[in-house]
């Protein structure tokens, strides 16, 4: 599989959102800079102090000036794209890069302490708990690395790319793979405890709260699994792929979907609390919840969803009601590039830090969405920022990990960091290490089609039933065939599957999506095919 295919399948699928038609207060950055590299960058305003300009390639937006543009404390040059989100524990920042390296870097000096080489690109974010670093790689492995020495402790092989970030709670590491499985791995020895098979690839990081593992899949479902044995507690079906990690706060699970909707679900039984929908959107940013507000990002690309590019939007949504508090937009209407708030925001000292693929990291006032801080790197930013002691750590596709002076002195206090999702700091490391390893599954909830079956030992009949339902929902026949999926991109298990016309459906729906993605990236209009048609083929699984 080509790297372009793996990027799209890994949750970097093109997605966009159009601003909500309802009236609301929005900071509009209609002149925001464009491009994926230094040669394509433009600075909006002039007059920034020369000393700050020397610290990095700086963009000013809104009211940003020489006093609130981020200073660079240090930079670390990696061996390629840095799309992994930084984790900062015990004075060391851990991050992966395009070359497959995992780096440990001193937070005071920016000097490397060690680098560990995996077999392929690392987009997964490192989880650091109790002296060990856990990270996934697109070589298909989950690695446990000694945090002090950088030596491998063990590796666990899955059936496909591991772009999901591992989450360790107690003595178990939970992670998703593009083979369609969610795995529970013994943290001490790297052996499998259980696995749960979904109907498609899993790219999102599992979130573990109160003995439940919450995770999304490209089979359009959000799953709640018992952390002890992988049994299904409940699942909720959305309209399209789920590329957003789940955030659980005060008994509510918040998650976005490519179907344009941010969902608030009961963490107990999966029932719908509310939904926030922008009708032309894909919502792939992991949600962040802080002080009663859900922060979630969208993007502006016209990937067959809308006729014209509009704006990438970061929304602040009331966590209790689902109503919009404010939104912050980066305009894309005068450009063909796809600006996305793909990365998950973080909150520190009343400032929401959010990365955009236009290369800029924004600091927005949490109460209003006004710009109070910004820094522009030299290329796209897919990395979710983490703030520790006033320093903003974030990676960029320019091959650099940045340590930037933030707008305050505090650390990330939002749910995303404190749940160990998409980069974290010492707070989560201590919580996860002290947690008890789950031994007893919780009571099964009563949410939509939850049946409490065991993820490790589900019968062929159970898997057949679930996949047959999915096929039927998509207008297909419910013919069941035995399919050996070893070697099929994104799978790697043998199972009985519901097919549309037999085995060819299983292969065709996967390859159609990959081919459609390739056509889009090569410019489908030049091949006489509309972008809408290519998108439909890419999503029609």
Q: What is the pLDDT of residues 417-449, one digit of tens each?
A: 999 988 999 999 999 999 988 876 666 444 444
At residue 340 the predicted structure's pLDDT band, cuts being 50, 70 and 90, is confident
Tell me the average pLDDT of the chain: 74
Q: What is the mean pLDDT of residues 348-360?
A: 92
Q: What is the mean pLDDT of residues 160-173?
A: 96
Angle, CA of 73, 76 and 79, to the nearest 5°: 165
Listed range (146-155, 195-204, 256-265) with the worst mean pLDDT: 256-265
Residue 385: both structure tokens together: 């920022």
Listed range (61-75, 143-157, 219-233, 497-511) with the worst mean pLDDT: 497-511
Q: What is the mean pLDDT of residues 319-336?
A: 80
Q: In 3D, which of 485, 445, 422, 447 has the Cα closest to residue 295?
A: 422
Q: Is 96's pLDDT higher than 50?
A: yes
DSSP-assigned states of every residue in 161-196: ---SPPEEETTEEEEE-TTSEEEEEETTT--EEEEE
At residue 313 the predicted structure's pLDDT band, cuts being 50, 70 and 90, is confident
Q: What is the pLDDT of residues 365-390, one digit of tens each?
A: 999 999 999 999 999 999 999 999 99
Q: Could you count the other beta carbons within 10 Å of the beta carbon of residue 189?
A: 11
At residue 258 the predicted structure's pLDDT band, cuts being 50, 70 and 90, is confident
Alpha helices in 388-457 (DSSP H): 415-418, 426-434
Distances, alpha carbon 317 to alpha carbons 289, 324, 325, 406, in Å: 9, 4, 5, 24
* Phi/psi of residue 284, nearest 5 degrees: -115, -10
Q: What is the mean pLDDT of residues 322-331?
A: 89
pTM for the complete prediction?
A: 0.74
Q: In 3D, which of 320, 277, 321, 265 has the Cα closest to residue 448?
A: 265
* Phi/psi of residue 101, nearest 5 degrees: -85, 145
Question: b vs e for 410-443, b when ≥16 Cβ sit within 10 Å of the residue's Cβ?
Answer: bbbbbbbbbbbbbbbbebbbeebbebeebeebbe
Task: Please give the pLDDT value at position 61.
Answer: 34
């Amino acid at each position: 599989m080509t790297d372009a295919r793996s990027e799209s399948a890994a949750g970097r699928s093109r997605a966009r959102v159009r601003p909500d038609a309802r009236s609301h207060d929005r900071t509009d950055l209609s002149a925001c800079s464009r491009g994926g590299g230094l040669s394509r960058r433009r600075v909006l305003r002039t007059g920034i102090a020369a000393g700050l300009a020397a610290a990095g390639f700086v963009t000013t937006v809104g009211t940003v000036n020489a006093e609130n543009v981020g200073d660079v404390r240090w930079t670390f040059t990696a061996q390629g794209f840095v799309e992994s989100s930084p984790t900062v524990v015990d004075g060391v920042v851990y991050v992966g890069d395009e070359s497959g390296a995992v780096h440990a870097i001193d937070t005071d000096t920016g000097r490397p302490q060690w680098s560990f080489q995996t077999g392929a690109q690392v987009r997964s974010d490192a989880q650091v708990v109790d002296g060990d670093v856990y990270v996934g790689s697109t070589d298909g492995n989950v690695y446990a690395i000694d945090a002090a020495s950088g030596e491998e402790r063990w590796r666990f092989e899955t059936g496909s790319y591991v772009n999901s970030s591992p989450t360790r709670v107690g003595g178990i590491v939970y992670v998703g793979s593009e083979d369609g499985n969610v795995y529970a791995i013994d943290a001490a020895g790297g052996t499998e405890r259980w696995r749960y098979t979904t109907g498609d690839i899993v790219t999102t990081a599992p979130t573990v709260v109160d003995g439940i593992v919450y995770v999304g899949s490209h089979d359009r479902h959000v799953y709640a699994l018992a952390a002890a044995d992988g049994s299904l507690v409940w699942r909720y079906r959305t309209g399209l792929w789920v590329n957003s990690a789940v955030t659980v706060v005060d008994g509510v699970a918040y998650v976005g979907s490519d179907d344009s909707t941010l969902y608030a679900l009961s963490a107990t039984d999966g029932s719908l609390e509310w939904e926030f929908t922008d009708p032309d959107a894909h919502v792939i940013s992991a949600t962040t919840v802080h002080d009663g507000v859900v922060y979630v990002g969208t993007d502006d690309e016209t990937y067959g969803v809308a006729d014209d590019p509009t704006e990438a939007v970061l929304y602040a949504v009331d966590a209790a009601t689902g109503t919009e508090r404010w939104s912050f937009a980066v305009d894309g209407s005068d450009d063909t590039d796809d600006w996305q708030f793909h990365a998950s925001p973080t909150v520190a000292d009343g400032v929401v830090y959010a990365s955009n693929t236009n290369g800029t990291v924004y600091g927005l006032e949490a109460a209003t969405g006004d710009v109070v801080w910004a820094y522009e790197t030299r290329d796209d930013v897919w990395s979710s920022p983490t703030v520790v002691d006033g320093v903003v750590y974030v990676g960029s596709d320019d091959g650099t990990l940045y340590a930037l002076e933030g707008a305050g002195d505090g650390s990330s206090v939002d749910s995303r960091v404190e749940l160990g999702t998409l980069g974290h700091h010492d707070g989560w490391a201590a919580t996860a290490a002290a947690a008890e390893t789950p031994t007893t599954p919780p009571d099964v909830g009563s949410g939509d089609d939850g049946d409490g079956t065991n993820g490790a030992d589900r019968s062929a009949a159970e898997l057949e039933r679930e996949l047959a339902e999915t096929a039927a929902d998509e207008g297909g026949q419910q013919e069941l065939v035995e399919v050996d999926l070893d070697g099929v991109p994104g799978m790697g298990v043998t199972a009985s599957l519901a097919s549309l016309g037999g085995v060819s459906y299983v292969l065709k729906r996967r390859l159609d999506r990959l081919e459609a993605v390739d056509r889009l990236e090569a410019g489908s209009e030049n091949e006489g095919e509309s972008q809408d048609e290519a998108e439909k083929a890419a999503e029609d699984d």
